[in-house]
Chains A and B, each alone.
Chain A
Amino acid sequence: MEAAESILTPIDTIIIAAYLGAVLVLGYLFSRYVKSSGDFILAGKSLPFWAIGMSVVVSDIGAIDMVSGAGAAYKYGLAQANFDWLGSVPAMVIVAFVFVPFYWRSGVCTLPEFLGRRYGPAVRFFQAVIWLGFLLSMLAVMLWTSAVFLNTVLGMPNQAAIWLTVFVVGIYTILGGLAAVVVTDAMQMVIMFIGAGALLGLSLWEIGGWSNMVQTISAMGPQFEQHFNLLISSQIDTPYPWSGMLMGLGIVLSTAYFSSNQAVIQRVLGARSEWDAKASMLLAAFLKLLIPVLVLLPGLAALALYPDLEDPDQAVPKLVRELLPPGLAGLVFAAFFAALMSSVDSFLNSATTIIISDGYKPASRALSGTEPDDRRCLLLTRVLTGVLIVAAGFLAPYIDQFETIYTAMQTLLSLFQGPTLAVLVLGVFWRRANAWGGFAGLLLGVMCSGSLSLVGESLFPSENPFLYVAFWAFVFSLIVTVVVSLLTPPPSKNQIRGLVFGEAVRDEATQTLLKERIQSD
């Protein structure tokens, strides 16, 4: 990888240092309010809707979109915007009015916890392991993204870049927990929008406006004909055909992402009221409208200005190096660092929560027969946060084997998002779904995803068929769960009490029971 000399002037360095200092101070301030593991994991259920909405957006788009999303736009064009547009609506509306009230009232902290109560400990364990693996690999992906960016812009060695991110994020997440993560995310979103807006404005100015950019790219040859089409024919060799976008992204991946992603669930459960939890998802869906404009268009601008880049992920770092004047470079650099940190902190906090809620607490109850000591839980949560971020730092360099980081992430997601959504939907809406059905649906569904991924290019009309894989794995898991559930005994009423939608949301007796359960937990 090409290392470069730093473009930062003293004023840029001051801006960046001030920003990093502010983040660390916020983490320290919030550490005063963390008295229990509940405060650390769910921010004491005190978060307003606007902070959660901003945090959900910035955690979602973060590092991957700022660098690799723009890289994918450079390589594949505007179709990349579907991940933010079709990937937000209707999924976030469904999650706001169906899954958020359901999670809120059923009193769970994590998706594995819900699936465990609904389908038994085997499904809980399987889900927890899958999510933990995903979150850890995502942490590594994000740290590697930060290294690519910092190496190109500052000439900072990859290892140094990774460990700088590990240090800053580790400190404020360990100190302040979810509250610090969400509040710093809100601040980071404002900085990110200003920085990305400035970069977009300067890029378009350099090219001579939108129409010049379209003309320049269109004139590059037939391989760029589709660069300004949002919907692309599945007959063209692309990873983003329109039918895959609709079936794989719109129906499965986006709904699965927002309904089962621990980073999202944890934020809405940290809301100060159920209304705030629902409103936060709608606000996030509004904000997502702007993301492709701010994040992907710079990738297209880089294509028009620098069409010969070897690595598409270098598109935005190249723009930063070439176009930004002193002062603004510092602001944009802070914006990118904000994006990276907001994603890393979210995944770190979520991974820790899964280990504590789905590993340590149930194991402690099973072994000692009593509730684990909360002060010990809090200490363990903080220690784990440190251990996980350091482990991700060691894993990060191996991520470089993938062609583009963003595609790697989507491929990882598609393997288990479809089966998870199938089991979740049936668990929430179908009383007859039972433990055997859920376990078989999840296990065989993931095997189906893996198999289809291995031979996908022979089966589907796409260069990287992760969208089709997700859709068909979802369908396969639905069928397996239904068939196995029908062939085995149904769950008793007590087993699913409060764990299906109608009861949890409408039945008053069940709601009273759930409140008692939450208080006793």
Chain B
Amino acid sequence: MEKITFFLEQNLVPLLKPAFDSFHSVIDQLPPPVWRFSICAYLVMGTIWALFLSRDYVLLGSPDQARWRDLRLWIPVLLVPYLLIYLFI
């Protein structure tokens, strides 16, 4: 394992380091509010699309058509506490 690590240190690291360093230097300069905004934007974008799914798709296999079984209704209820956590902690 040490030989493999040595080989990678000599050959792979010099090849990749400039690219990763440039990437991380940009990331490192972002201020904390941007971190929060990025995480919250990811949370919203990653979940909000589910609201636009068809009712038939969401309810397929449901034993009845009761309103609470429409899983889209639960998306905002689920998302809000997570958003509050990342906005205020």
Chain A interface residues toward B at CB < 8 A = 78, 85-86, 88-91, 93-94, 96-97, 101, 230-231, 233-235, 242-243, 245-246, 250-251, 273-279, 282, 285-286, 289, 451, 454-455, 458-461, 505
Contact = CB atoms under 8 A, between A and B. Distances in A.
A276 B61 contact: yes
B42 A233 contact: no
A89 B71 contact: no
Contacts of B53: 97
Contact of B71 (A233, A282, A454): A282
A279 B28 contact: no
Q: Is the interface of B mostly helix, strand, loop or mixed?
A: helix
A275 B27 contact: no
Given A234-B28, A278-B71, A460-B24, A246 B39 contact: yes
B5 interface: yes
B13 A458 contact: yes
B12 to A, nearest CB: 6
Contacts of A246: 38-39, 42
Nearest to A282: B74
Contacts of B75: 93, 282
Contacts of A78: 89
A275 B50 CA distance: 15
Nearest to A88: B82
B9 A458 contact: yes
Contacts of B42: 90, 246, 250-251
Contact of B5 (A231, A235, A274, A455): A455
A251 B85 CA distance: 18
Interface residues of B, number: 43
A425 to B, nearest CB: 14
Contacts of B61: 273-277
A89 B79 contact: yes
A234 B34 CA distance: 13
A85 B82 contact: yes
A231 B39 CA distance: 10
B36 A231 contact: yes
Interface in B38-53: 38-39, 42-43, 45-47, 50, 53
A289 B16 contact: no
Contacts of A96: 50, 71
Contact of A89 (B8, B16, B43, B57): B43
A230 B87 CA distance: 10
B28 A233 contact: yes
A278 to B, nearest CB: 6
B46 A93 contact: yes
Contacts of A454: 1, 4-5, 8
A459 B39 contact: no
Contact of A451 (B8, B35, B62, B79): B8
Name, among B39, B53, B86, the residue most crowded by chain A CB atoms within 10 Å (CB to CB).
Answer: B39
Given A78-B89, A93-B78, 15 more contacts: A89-B78, A90-B43, A93-B50, A97-B53, A97-B57, A97-B71, A242-B39, A251-B42, A275-B59, A275-B60, A278-B58, A455-B8, A458-B13, A458-B17, A459-B17
A2 to B, nearest CB: 31
B55 interface: no
B50 A97 contact: yes
Contacts of B62: 273, 275
Contacts of B57: 97, 101, 505
A451 B15 CA distance: 13
Contacts of B63: 273, 275
Contact of A234 (B9, B24, B82): B24
Given A90-B42, A97-B50, A455 B71 contact: no
Nearest to A104: B61
Interface string B63-89: 100000101001100110110011001
Contacts of B47: 89-90, 93
B69 A86 contact: no
Most buried by A among B1, B9, B75: B75
A451 to B, nearest CB: 6
13 contacts: A85-B85, A89-B47, A90-B42, A90-B43, A97-B57, A230-B86, A231-B39, A242-B39, A250-B42, A274-B60, A282-B74, A455-B13, A460-B20
Contacts of B85: 85, 230
Contacts of A273: 61-63
B46 to A, nearest CB: 3
Contact of A282 (B4, B24, B78, B86): B78
A481 B16 CA distance: 21
Sorted nearest first, the 7 A-B pairs with minimum C-beta distance are A90-B46, A274-B61, A273-B61, A275-B61, A275-B62, A90-B47, A242-B35
B24 to A, nearest CB: 5
A243 B27 contact: yes
A461 B8 contact: no
